Chain A
Amino acid sequence: MMRFLLLFNRQGRLRLQKWFIPLSNREKNKIVSEMTLTVLARPPKACSFLQWRDLKIVYRRYASLFFCCGLEDQDNELLTLELLQRYVELLDQYFGNVCELDIIFNFDKAYFILDEFIMGGEIQETSRLCLARHMEEADAFQETVDEYEKNPTY
């Protein structure tokens, strides 16, 4: 299972953090800073995997963002690369040509998509269609509610 997923840019600014295990804030911050330091220090053509404490770290750079996750011993690293690819594709599908700004301004949507794709460190939905449908339904529901609220009689 995945223990955490972090998104940060080349300057080390954290854009998204998802934790699948309970940790104190201090521990989280420590992990974040260590991860950013280690990953950013790697040369560009280096291997995407490294060993850190007892976890396997898989990272990949997409444009200006680094996607970095921590896996347990039994997990398949190559498949995790595919997982990251899938997540980026989902974001792309939703936002249309996703870039870092989209994630900055719509971090809640980014989290929502992540939560629909991965739950508790494991993938819960492997079908692109299903995920897209879930997002549409959620958006539609929100619009309905917003409109309902805007109505003067509410």
Chain B
Amino acid sequence: MPAPIRLRELIRTIRTARTQAEEREMIQKECAAIRSSFREEDNTYRCRNVAKLLYMHMLGYPAHFGQLECLKLIASQKFTDKRIENGNNDTDLIIEMCRDLAGEVEKLLKTSNSYLRKKAALCAVHVIRKVPELMEMFLPATKNLLSEKNHGVLHTSVVLLTEMCERSPDMLTHFRKLVPQLVRILKNLIMSGYSPEHDVSGISDPFLQVRILRLLRILGKSDDDSSEAMNDILAQVATNTETSKNVGNAILYETVLTIMDIKSESGLRVLAINILGRFLLNNDKNIRYVALTSLLKTVQTDHNAVQRHRSTIVDCLKDLDVSIKRRAMELSFALVNGNNIRGMMKELLYFLDSCDPEFKADCASGVFLAAEKRWVLQNPTINAGSYVRDDSVPNLIQLITNSVEMHAYTVQRLYKALLDDISQQPLVQVASWCIGEYGDLLVSGQCEEEEPIQVTEDEVLDVLEGLLVSNLSAPVTRGYSLTAIMKLSTRFSSVNRIKKVVSIYGSSIDVELQQRAVEYNALFKKYDHMRPALLERMPIMEKTATNGPTEIVQTNGETESSALDSKHPPSITQPTNQANDLLDLLGGNDVPVIQTALPTKPASAGGELLDLLGDLSLSGGPTPAPAPSVPISQTPFLLDGLSSQPLFNDTAAGIPPMTAYNKNGLKIEFTFERSNPNPNISVITIHASNSTEADMTDFVFQAAVPKTFQLQLLSPSSNIVPALNQGSVTQVIRVLNPQKQQLRMRIKLTYTLKGAPVQDLAEVNNFPPQSWQ
């Protein structure tokens, strides 16, 4: 058979093919020829054929039958064959052979042949990557690596050391002693004269310089001594490197990253940030991109320094390049703080309006996060609302709730937005929630920030009903609007219309809507007395880490509240006194368990507690925090209180009871118990007894503790303290004392005796040590 054509010929032939079909034909013909050639076992042309197969494989055609031939080539002694073969080597082979080869590699690391040494070093790097346990094996060979003269070996050695230090903290500490040596090598590189073989635009071996800088970064991180040793050289590189060419900038870039990561002195850090600032103004896009990326990394640690370049960064938002815009946006969000928020928001909102769709979702969410942190609701964020991801809806709702002064304005703007467009689901959801909450403000035209619009109740209900029937509304949105309509029943006067709407949806096909409507119907019919309380305004919410409903809500298994929950996931904090009232409702009365996720009445009891804490002046203590900021961590108490009834026993575990108060016939005794699950909690039971001749009615016991404690008051057994010690009122107090400080308490007692109200304040300081230790 004729000699197979040379590779060149094949390539030329294939390139003449004008269509894909023609090309395929030629390939197939050639494949057939190659296959027959292989069958003939003619070694002369094997490499030529395999080369052709490689080419065809690169073009995308299957060439599997050549693999066996490749194996034969590997076995072949011919050098030419081996060269071809290298092109086909899979790195997969390295994984399998790692352990076997590691010994070989280690030996080769020590040979005098630099060609082999550098390759051995890189092999070692990959062995370590695949099998980190083998790192120890290479340790002895690394001793002399840095004393090499050959740049190739030096480079690969630095790579090997970097890999080892990255993988193992022990190695890191071990190699810290190399810092002086590395500094010296770097210095030589910088100071050395021109060397044509390593030179790149006047800089000697930039590749090696950058690798050394990177290794220094790893070695200097969180180590003062090493960092100090490199301070000088870093300063030298930072100031002396030529910045006209890309090479210089590459080295500067690495230097800046190193300076920011190690424990450098402040002067050096300022130098680094300034270099980045200069980069930002560079004409070269690549350099600006790199600068923005680095600033993003450093903005957490050196916030103020980066702030100085804020205007340049904001300008980058207007850059034409997509990569730069994205980085600038991320960096801008990181830089927003209380001082610059107005200006930044303006720029960012402008950016949001004009940027590409791929940015919009992230940008809008970023805007909300920024607004959240500063509790400022900027007006045009409502426009941004149409772009947000769905999970931001609860965040936005929370934000709106918490900026109390903006309620009227917000609801007005949102209402107007709804009139324009009801297709943007997140926006519609937020808008209908707001209208449900603050519809009364909308109708009464209380807006201060803007010209108040004249809206009637019917118009509002029209809009909300429109949402219910619209095809554009998602099921979730419909749920929102139905609940909003329901809430308006306590805020509007046209209750009949609302009743009608709700009853219509009682037979809706959508199960969720139907359930809600049925429940709301029930609310109208059987539980009308609860309706105002249930549908009251939401209080200020405290943000929880998760957006899930709090445990308060979870203790109420009622579907009514769970339906509410799905829309009001943010947590609710309340003074624990109110929570106790809730419990009271649960335990004491016959009222069915329609619990609310909202507080049932304004904090009248809580308000007094606020006052109590307000004038509580502890010697040397800081002013106590107001009640609403009692953190949600109280809720575990709540659950415990619910479930573990034995808490209400009086016998102390060896802690003697004490008399806290004894005046005018009223005696209050404290008995103690340790709460088992949590040793920091002391459980105190008060026993109030009355030695006068008349009953003390409307008895209310209140207590406040210093800031380091947390207090929970459970419900009293009764409000009437019978006369002549015929009985006592008991009440349980739970005190959390995480810092094991001395327990002090101020109590306030109010009661009515013989028709006259009596009020008294007292401090209790004589707690036995065992109660709080």
Contact = CB atoms under 8 A, between A and B. Distances in A.
A119 B152 contact: no
B449 interface: no
Contacts, number: 135
B86 A115 contact: yes
A63 interface: no
Contact of A49 (B84, B87, B200, B286): B286
Interface in A111-154: 111-112, 115, 119-120, 122-130, 134, 138, 141-142, 145-146, 149
Given A22-B92, A77-B290, A126-B198, A146 B205 contact: no
A135 to B, nearest CB: 11
A126 B208 contact: yes
A120 B156 CA distance: 11
Nearest to B130: A22
A81 interface: yes
A122 B159 contact: yes
Contact of A79 (B86, B250, B323): B250
B444 to A, nearest CB: 51
A51 interface: yes
B448 interface: no
A48 B285 CA distance: 8
Interface stretch (B115-123, B475-483, B503-511): B115-123
A70 to B, nearest CB: 14
Given A125-B118, A126-B207, A49 B250 contact: no
Interface in B62-121: 78-80, 83-84, 86-87, 90-92, 95, 115, 118-119
Contact of A47 (B44, B58, B84, B286): B286
Contacts of B91: 19-22, 120
A120 B122 contact: yes
Interface in B9-59: 11, 15, 44, 51, 54-55, 58
B736 to A, nearest CB: 44
Given A22-B90, A123-B207, A126-B151, A46 B322 contact: yes
Contact of A108 (B51, B155, B288): B51
Contacts of B151: 125-127
Interface of B: 7-8, 11, 15, 44, 51, 54-55, 58, 78-80, 83-84, 86-87, 90-92, 95, 115, 118-119, 122-123, 125-126, 151-152, 155-156, 159, 196-198, 200, 205-208, 210, 214, 246-247, 249-250, 253-254, 285-290, 321-324, 326
A45 interface: yes
16 contacts: A47-B286, A51-B326, A78-B287, A79-B250, A82-B200, A86-B200, A111-B86, A112-B86, A120-B125, A120-B126, A124-B119, A126-B198, A126-B207, A127-B151, A141-B79, A142-B83
Given A123-B155, A126-B208, A128-B198, 9 more contacts: A20-B91, A45-B285, A49-B323, A81-B246, A105-B8, A108-B84, A111-B86, A142-B83, A146-B80
Given A82-B247, A108-B83, A142-B83, A130 B197 contact: yes
Contacts of A108: 51, 54, 83-84, 87
A127 B86 contact: no
Contacts of B125: 120, 122
A17 interface: yes
A104 B11 contact: yes
In the complex, the 6 A-B pairs of residues with the closest C-beta atoms, listed nearest first = A78-B250, A129-B197, A125-B152, A79-B250, A47-B285, A127-B197
Size class of the A contact interface (CB-based, 8 Å): 35 or more
Nearest to B213: A76
Nearest to A77: B290
Contact of A119 (B119, B210, B253): B119
Given A79-B210, A127-B152, A47 B122 contact: no
A117 to B, nearest CB: 10
A40 interface: no
Contacts of A77: 286, 290
A77 B411 CA distance: 49
A145 B79 contact: yes
A20 B159 CA distance: 15
Contact of A78 (B80, B208, B290): B290
A78 B248 CA distance: 9
Interface in A62-82: 74, 76-79, 81-82
Contact of B289 (A20, A49, A111): A49
A95 interface: no
Contact of B11 (A83, A105, A125, A126): A105
B109 to A, nearest CB: 14
Nearest to B289: A47
Contacts of B155: 123-126
B277 to A, nearest CB: 17
Contacts of A146: 80
Contacts of A74: 214
A48 to B, nearest CB: 5
Contacts of A55: none
A14 B58 CA distance: 8
A86 B197 CA distance: 12
A47 B323 contact: yes
A50 interface: yes
B323 to A, nearest CB: 5
A146 B79 CA distance: 10
Contacts of A47: 285-286, 288-289, 321, 323-324
Contacts of A127: 151-152, 197-198
A78 B246 CA distance: 7
A81 B122 CA distance: 21
A78 B253 contact: yes
Interface in A32-62: 45-51
B545 to A, nearest CB: 26
Contacts of B205: 126
Nearest to A56: B293
Contact of A120 (B84, B123, B196, B290): B123
Contacts of B7: 105
Given A124-B155, A142-B83, A81 B119 contact: no
A154 B433 CA distance: 92
A14 B55 CA distance: 11
Contacts of B152: 124-127, 130
Which has the most chain B C-beta neighbours within 10 Å: A19, A82, A86? A82
Contacts of B95: 22
A31 to B, nearest CB: 14
Contacts of A126: 151-152, 155, 198, 205, 207-208
Contact of B286 (A17, A81, A130, A141): A81
Contacts of A83: 207
Nearest to A74: B214
A74 B54 CA distance: 34
Given A107-B55, A112-B86, A122-B159, A49 B79 contact: no
A140 to B, nearest CB: 11
Nearest to B253: A78
A119 B122 contact: yes
A90 to B, nearest CB: 12
A146 B83 CA distance: 13
Contacts of B287: 78
Contact of A76 (B200, B253, B326): B253
A112 B7 CA distance: 17
Contacts of A81: 246, 250, 286
Nearest to A89: B200
Nearest to B205: A126
A138 B7 CA distance: 20
A78 B247 CA distance: 7
Contacts of A124: 118-119, 122, 152, 155-156
Contact of B250 (A76, A123, A141): A76
Nearest to A128: B197
